[in-house]
C-alpha cells in the first residue's frame, strides 16, 4: 500500500479472515491500513476451513526450524489450495465496483517457499482472466492490472524498500504460529525468512520473538 | 451433476450463499444434491454484499417484464462483479483438496443475459489459470478441466436434456425475486427465459408462478 500511495494511487485495503492460525495478521493489517490512511479497509470472512488441505487452516503441524535448503525445496504444507486465486477474485470484484483497474498484491517469488500462486506467470494469467471475466473488462472500460511490487525482491530488499517508504515495520507481522501473548515463534518458515531478511538488510526487527 | 454422473463421475456439490435475494435457490440445490445422491454438498458463505454492485445482492431493482430483445442487449444490473471467478476459485480449491481435476459449472452462453463470465473464452482462461495456480497443476498431478455441459445449449435444449437424464425439474429454481411463499415471480429475466425454454421444449414447467 505504501508503494501504491507513493505511485499516486488512493489506498483501498482488502484483508481476509480465512481461518488462518495466525489471525493476528488481521490486527496488523488493521493497524497498517490506519497508519497509512487507507480510504477503506474491508475484511472479508472466507470459509476455507470447510475445504481444508493446509497446515495454515487445519490441524496439521507447521514446519519449524527448517534449513534454507529445506525451505527452498518443494511446495510446503502451509500452501493453501487456490488461496491467492480466491483472494484475487475478490479483489477483482472490489476493484470493479470501486471503479479502478489497479490491483496490488504483495506476493513474493524469490526468497519464498515455492508457492505456485506467487509467480509472475500466474499473475499474468490472472490479468488475462480478469479482462474476460468482468463487465468493465468486456466493455473496454478497464484494462485490469495486477501490480506485484515485491514479487522479485529478496526479503532483505523488501525490508530496505519499506524503510525507504517510511513504513513502520513494528506494525507488520509474518509468523505462521504466534504464541498466545502475540509473540512470533522465530522458527516457522515465515519467521526464518523474515529474520534473515532483516539481518541481511542490516535493520533491527522491531517485533517480539519467543526465541 | 446429472450429466457428470452419467459420464461416470462421482458428484461433489458446491453451492454459495452470497447474499443473493433468491436464497431459496440454496434449498433447491440441497434437494437436488440429495435427490441425485451427491457424495458431499458444501454450501459456503460469501461476503459479496460488503462489496456490492449488483441488483442480486443490493437494493437495486431487478428488471421485470423485459422483451427478449431487451434481455439480449448489454450486461444487466443482475450481473454480480467477478461472481463466477469467485465461485470457480473456490471450486478449484475444493477440487484440489478432494483430488480431482474435473470441475463442472452450469453456465450458459446462448439464451442468457450477456454475462461476461458465462462465455467459453472466459472458461478457457480460467483453466489456464488453474494449472498455474495450484500445487496439483504445477507438480503435473492434475490438468484441471472446467466442464460446461450447458454452455452452448438453448434453454429449450437444457429442458430436453434434463428430461433425458431423468432430472426432477420440480426441484429446480430460476427466479431472481421469489415471493415470500416461495413462488416464482414470472416476470424477471430468469423467469421469462425459463418459461420460454419450457414452452419451446413442449414440457410443462412444474414449479409455481405468481403469474
The reply to whether A119 falls in a domain is yes
The reply to whether B211 falls in a domain is no
Instruction: Return the number of other C-beta atoms located less than 10 Å from residue B108's C-beta.
Output: 21
Interface contact flag, A44 B52, Cβ < 8 Å: no
Give the per-residue pLDDT at B31: 96
* Position A40 pLDDT exceeds 60: yes
The reply to whether A207 falls in a domain is no
- What range defines the domain where residue A167 resides? 2-201
Q: What average pLDDT does range B133-150 have in this prediction?
A: 90
* Position B111 pLDDT exceeds 70: no
All residues of chain B having their beta carbon less than 8 Å from the beta carbon of residue A125 are 125, 128-129, 132-133
Q: Which one of A53, A86, A128 has the shortest CB-CB distance to B89?
A: A86
The reply to whether B16 falls in a domain is yes
Q: What average pLDDT does range B38-67 have in this prediction?
A: 87
Q: What average pLDDT does range B188-205 have in this prediction?
A: 95
Q: Which one of A97, A137, A138 has the shortest CB-CB distance to B53?
A: A97
Q: According to DSSP H, which parts of A12-170 are helical?
A: 24-36, 48-51, 68-71, 83-97, 120-133, 135-138, 155-164
Residue A55 — φ and ψ, nearest 5°?
-65, -20
Angle among Cα A57, B125, B17 to the nearest 5 degrees reads: 45
Q: What average pLDDT does range B44-59 have in this prediction?
A: 85
The tally of domains found in chain A comes to: 1
ipTM score above 0.90 = no
| Shortest Cα distance, chain B CAs vs residue A207, angstroms | 32
Q: What's the DSSP call for residue A169?
A: G
Interface contact flag, A129 B129, Cβ < 8 Å: yes
CA proximity to B183, closest of B161, B205, B167: B205
The reply to whether B182 falls in a domain is no
pLDDT class of A113 with cuts at 50, 70, 90 = low
The reply to whether B85 falls in a domain is yes
Taking only the tens place, the pLDDT of each residue in A135-169 is: 888 888 879 999 999 999 999 999 999 999 999 99
- Comparison of pLDDT for B209 and B114, the residue scoring more: B209
Question: Residue A32 corresponds to which cell in the numbers above?
Answer: 497498517
The reply to whether B12 falls in a domain is yes
| Shortest Cα distance, chain A CAs vs residue B88, angstroms | 9
* Position B53 pLDDT exceeds 60: yes
Q: What average pLDDT does range A107-131 have in this prediction?
A: 88
All residues of chain A having their beta carbon less than 8 Å from the beta carbon of residue B90 are 51, 82, 86
Q: What average pLDDT does range A58-71 have in this prediction?
A: 82
The CATH code of the domain that includes B63 is 3.40.50.620
Q: Are B126 and A73 in contact (CB under 8 A)?
A: no
- Comparison of pLDDT for A56 and A31, the residue scoring more: A31
Interface contact flag, B129 A119, Cβ < 8 Å: no
| Shortest Cα distance, chain A CAs vs residue B75, angstroms | 7
SS3 of residue A41 by DSSP: strand
Q: Are B41 and B13 in contact (CB under 8 A)?
A: yes
Model pTM score: 0.91
Taking only the tens place, the pLDDT of each residue in A123-144 is: 999 999 999 999 888 888 879 9
Q: Which residues of B116-125 are buried (b: 16+ CB within 10 A; e: fewer)?
A: bbbbeebbeb
The reply to whether A209 falls in a domain is no
pLDDT class of A184 with cuts at 50, 70, 90 = very high
Task: Please report, for residues A84, A103, A145, the alpha-carbon distance to residue A123 in angstroms, rounded to integers and kept in the order given.
Answer: 10, 11, 9
pLDDT class of B80 with cuts at 50, 70, 90 = confident
Average pLDDT, chain B: 91
Give the per-residue pLDDT at B162: 97
Give the per-residue pLDDT at B132: 94
| Shortest Cα distance, chain A CAs vs residue B45, angstroms | 7
Task: Provide the percentage of residues in chain B whose pLDDT is more than 90.
Answer: 67
Amino acid at each position: 500500500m505504501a508503494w501504491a500511495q507513493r505511485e499516486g494511487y488512493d489506498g483501498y485495503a482488502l484483508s481476509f479472515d480465512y481461518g488462518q492460525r495466525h489471525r493476528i495478521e488481521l490486527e496488523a493489517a488493521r493497524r497498517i491500513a490506519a497508519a497509512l490512511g487507507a480510504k477503506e479497509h474491508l475484511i472479508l470472512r472466507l470459509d476455507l476451513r470447510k475445504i481444508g488441505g493446509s497446515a495454515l487452516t487445519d490441524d496439521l503441524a507447521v514446519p519449524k526450524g527448517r534449513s534454507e535448503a529445506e525451505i527452498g525445496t518443494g511446495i510446503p504444507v502451509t500452501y493453501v489450495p487456490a488461496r491467492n486465486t480466491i483472494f484475487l477474485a475478490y479483489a477483482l470484484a472490489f476493484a470493479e465496483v470501486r471503479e479502478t483497474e489497479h490491483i496490488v498484491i504483495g506476493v513474493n517469488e524469490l526468497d519464498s517457499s515455492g508457492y505456485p500462486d506467487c509467480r509472475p506467470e500466474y499473475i499474468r494469467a490472472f490479468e488475462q482472466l480478469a479482462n474476460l471475466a468482468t463487465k468493465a473488462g468486456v466493455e473496454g472500460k478497464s484494462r485490469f492490472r495486477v501490480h506485484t511490487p515485491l514479487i522479485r525482491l529478496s526479503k532483505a530488499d523488501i525490508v530496505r524498500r519499506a524503510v525507504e517508504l517510511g513504513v513502520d515495520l513494528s506494525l507488520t507481522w509474518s509468523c505462521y504460529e504466534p504464541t498466545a501473548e502475540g509473540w512470533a515463534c522465530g522458527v516457522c518458515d515465515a519467521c526464518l525468512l523474515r529474520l534473515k531478511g532483516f539481518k541481511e538488510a542490516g535493520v533491527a526487527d522491531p517485533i517480539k520473538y519467543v526465541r
